[in-house]
Structure 1
Amino acid sequence: MSNKILVFNHIFWPDKINTARHISELTEELVARGWDVSAVVGNRFYGNHKKIITPKNGVWNGVKYSRTYIPPFNQKKNLQRLLTSFWLVLSWIVKLPFIGKYDAIIIGTNPPFVYLLVPFIKLFKRNTKILMWGFDLYPEAIIVSKEKSFSFLGKVLKSLAKFCYGKIDVIVDIGPCMREIYRQYNHSAKEETLPPWSFVEPIEMLLPHFETRQKLFKNANLTLLYTGTIGNAHEFDNFLQLARELNKRNASVGFCFAGFGNRFDDLKLQIVDNDTNISFGGFVETDQELEERLSSADIMLISLKEEWTGISVPSKYFSAIAIGKAVLFSGAQNSALSVWTREYDLGFQVQKETIDKVANVLCEIANNPELISKMKENSFKIYQENFSKKVICDKWSLLLERTINYPMK
Structure 2
Amino acid sequence: MMLAFVTVDSPDVIVIGTDPFFSVLIAPVWRWCHPSTRIVHWCFDLYPEAIYADRSIDHRSLIPRTMRLLMQASYRACDLVADLGQCMAGLLRGYDPQMNLVTMVPWALSEPTVPLPTAKVERAAIFGDATLALMYSGSFGRAHSSDDMLALMRHLRGESAVLALSVKGNRAAHLREQVSPEDTNIRFVPFAATNALEERLSSADVHILSLRDSWVGAVVPSKFFGALAVGRPVLFCGPRNCAIAHWIERYGLGWVLEPGEAAGVADQMRELLHDSAALQAMRERCYKAYREHFSRQVTITEWQRILAALIASPHLRDEY
Q: Same fold (TM over 0.5)?
A: yes
Deviation at 1:129, TM superposition (A): 0.4
**Are 1:356 and 2:263 an aligned pair?**
yes
Distance 1:187 1:405 in 2: 24
Q: Which amino acid aligns with 2:184?
A: T
* Structure 2 residue matching 1:360: 3-state secondary structure: helix
Partner residue of 1:295? 202
Equivalence for 2:248: 341
Q: Does the CA contact (< 8 Å) of 2:12 and 2:38 recur in 1?
A: yes
1:261 aligns with 2:169: yes
User: Residue type matched to 1:324 in 2?
Assistant: G
Selected match of 2:30 from 112, 116, 121:
121
- Partner of 1:202, secondary structure, is coil
Where 1:148 maps in the other structure, the secondary structure is coil
Gaps of 5+ in 1: 1-91
Match of 1:384 among 268, 273, 291: 291
Read off the aligned partner of 1:115 and give its amino acid letter. Answer: V
Match of 1:95 in 2: 3
Tell whether 2:230 aligns with 1:307.
Answer: no
Q: 1: distance between equivalents of 2:97 and 2:72?
A: 7
Give the RMSD, CA atoms, in angstroms. Answer: 1.4
Residue 136 in structure 1 maps to residue 70 in structure 2: no
Contact 1:140–1:154 under 8 Å retained in 2: no
Give the aligned residue type for 2:161.
V
Judged with a 3 Å threshold, the aligned counterparts in structure 2 of structure 1 residues 187 and 165 are, in CA distance, closer, same or farther, namely farther
Structure-to-structure mapping, 1:102-181, within 5 angstroms: 102-148=11-57, 152=61, 153-181=63-91
Number of the residue aligned with 1:317: 224
- Which of the numbers 321, 325, 328 marks the counterpart of 2:235? 328
1:284 to partner: Cα distance = 2.3
How many pairs align? 314
Mapped partners of 1:407, 1:292: distance in 2: 45
Distance 2:4 2:52 in 1: 30
TM-score by length of 1: 0.74
**3-state SS, counterpart of residue 261 of structure 2:** helix
Aligned equivalents of 2:66, 2:238: Cα separation in 1: 28
Unaligned segments of structure 2, at least 5 residues: none
Instruction: State yes or no: 1:407 paired with 2:314.
Output: yes
Give secondary structure in 2 for the equivalent of 1:353: coil
Contact 1:139 1:155 in 2 (8 A): no
1:260, 1:282 within 8 Å by CA — same for their partners in 2? no
Instruction: Answer whether contact 2:229 2:291 (CA < 8 A) is retained.
Output: yes
Q: How far, CA to CA, are the matches of 2:170 and 2:59 in structure 1? A: 18
Instruction: State the 1:272 CA deviation.
Output: 1.1
Kindly provide the amino acid, as one letter, of the partner of residue 126 in structure 2. L
CA distance in 1, matches of 2:271, 2:193: 35
Q: Distance in 1 between matches of 2:60 and 2:283?
A: 42
Partner SS state of residue 156, structure 2:
helix
Would the aligned equivalents of 1:119 and 1:164 in 2 still touch at CA under 8 Å?
yes
Match of 2:188 in 1: 280
How many Å separate the matches in 2 of 1:408 and 1:293? Answer: 46
Distance 1:338 1:159 in 2: 31
- What CA distance in whole angstroms lies between the structure 2 residues aligned with 1:185 and 1:148? 20
Residues 107 and 131 of structure 1 are in contact (CA less than 8 Å); yes or no, is this contact kept in structure 2? yes
* 1:203-255 CA-partner distances (Å, limit 9, x unpaired): 111111112111211111001111111111111110011111111xx111110
Distance 1:122 1:268 in 2: 48
Is contact 2:38-2:314 (8 Å) kept? Answer: no
| Counterpart-to-counterpart distance in 1, 2:5 and 2:256 | 50
2:131 to 195, 208, 221: 221
The answer to which structure, 1 or 2, has the higher relative contact order (CA under 8 A, 6+ apart) is 2
Contact between 1:222 and 1:369, CA under 8 Å: does it hold in 2?
no
Alignment partners' CA distance in 1, 2:245 and 2:112: 24
Query: Take 1:380 and 1:190, find their aligned partners in 2: how far apart are those partners?
Result: 31
1:379 aligned partner, one-letter code: C
SS of residue matched to 2:142 = coil
Offset at residue 371 of structure 1 (A): 2.1
Tell me the distance in 2 between the aligned counterparts of 1:200 and 1:322.
Answer: 7
The percentage of counterpart residues that share the same residue type is 35
What displacement does 1:150 show? 8.4
What displacement does 1:337 show? 0.5
Check the 8 A contact 1:189/1:408 in 2, yes or no: no
